[in-house]
Amino acid sequence: MSDNSVKTANDVAENFEPKILVFACNWCTYAGADLAGTSRLQYPPNVRILRVPCSCRVNPQFVIRAFQRGIDGVLVAGCHPGDCHYTTGNYYTRRRFLLINRMMEYMGIDPKRFHTRWISGAEGPKFQQVVTEMIEEVRAIGPNRKLRDDMKVTVNTDDIVASVEADTKVVADNV
Ligand code: FES
């Protein structure tokens, strides 16, 4: 490796600003993020928030697609267990994403790139803390290079999602 290429790799690492995508449930975490904003709590601008009706609305394919599109870390956040607006939605979220976490490890994606958290509408400071810690964690492990469309790596996401959904059903049937 030439000096130039070493320098370029170091420059990339030094200047790396992770892109974090947050799927926030409308009833709790989105309100918590809003509270963080209105309370003027500072967190890095690397975060993009997508509002969803409930954390269980997040199909695992959305997460995989985010990594394919160059996102470096994904957070799925919703109401605390027992507080879901739809009663049991976040229990499905928890089961589903335990499985997808294992699946991502299998695909070679560092599990630090994906988290689920419960953040209520009153927890603006918690939202600030969770996203700030996640950005630091992802910054430390570097850019996402797996699955990215621009890296020309192809994955059959339909197979992955079908497999995760089948596993989720097995777990749900046994709870
Ligand atoms: S409505 Fe918030 S997790 Fe279901």
Q: List the domain boundaries for the chain.
A: 18-173
With the most atoms of ligand 1 within 8 angstroms of its CB, the residue from 76, 84, 120 to mutate is: 84
Mean pLDDT, the chain, rounded, equals: 84
Residues with CB under 6 A from ligand 1: 25, 27-28, 54-55, 78-79, 84-86, 89-90
Per-residue pLDDT tens over the stretch 37-75? 999 999 888 899 999 999 999 999 899 999 989 899 999
CATH of domain 18-173: 3.40.50
- C-alpha 89 to ligand 1 mean position (Å): 6
Taking residues 141-159, what's their average pLDDT?
A: 69
* pLDDT score at 127: 97
Alpha-carbon span 167 to 101, nearest angstrom: 12
79-121 pLDDT, tens per residue? 999 999 999 999 999 999 888 888 888 888 899 999 999 999 9
CA of 8 to the centre of ligand 1 (A): 44
Q: How far is the CA of 19 from the centre of ligand 1 (A)?
A: 24
Question: pTM of the full predicted structure?
Answer: 0.79
Using the atom order of ligand 1, give the atom closest to the CA of residue 93. Answer: 3
